[in-house]
Amino acid sequence: MAIITYLTSRPRMRAEVLKLEAESEYTRAETTRILSEFQARPSDVADDSTLPKGWYVTGSQPEDYEFGIDTQIFHSGRTSAFIQARSGAKGFASVAQVFKADAYRGKRVRLSAMLKARDVTKWAGLWLRIDDALHNVLEFDNTADGRSISGTQRWSQRDVVLDVPDEGATIRIGFILTGPGRVWCDDVAVEEVSREVPVTRNIEGVRAHPENLNFEGGTN
């Protein structure tokens, strides 16, 4: 009986795993889309007195999250910043800042930070974006694709590396939490790196040349 139950339950278990994986992939893709499209405007849901100086709150539903400085848990120094989901939190929230790209134009830049997670059911991570003077997105990447953190994890470093175009006007950086849990961030660094350090934006699988432009090549 136990064997029969195991064998008959395996398809259901597999289907549930595939469903969860699909939902997780959708969440990552949707978060990436929103972060790369919206203007990352500051939200007024957080009291500035609770935020680290120079940083602001943004996201798709920042009202579902809490933000602040933690003086009890940190990687170095005496404080870290955190995002904590409220009960039933949806969407995502980010603690971010923006600065001029002048000092980084034409250079390869790495954003790095130490992150720590507790009971994160979806994912948390870093993001980096370069805009032109009209707020058009020139470059964007986050750590959602295989470089995020989830569950409960000790301090670990995450990185995003991008080239800053000559027409770059502003650089936006941030750490992010999607869904339930809490994430801490500490020791953020923005630095120029050599061209030997690869960019992290994932373009694997993208074809080198256009194809089937006359639509006569059949279907996938």
* CATH code, domain with 93: 2.60.120.260
Q: What is the pLDDT of residues 134-161, one digit of tens each?
A: 988 899 999 987 889 999 999 999 999 9
Rounded Cα distance, 155 and 113, in Å: 10
pLDDT for 174 equals 95
Instruction: Tell me how many domains the chain contains.
Output: 1
Q: What is the pLDDT of residues 23-80, one digit of tens each?
A: 545 555 656 555 655 455 555 555 556 789 999 999 989 999 999 999 999 999 999 9
CA dihedral sign of residues 150, 63, 29, 156: negative
186, part of any domain: yes
Structural domain including 92 reads 2-193
pTM for this entry = 0.76
66, part of any domain: yes
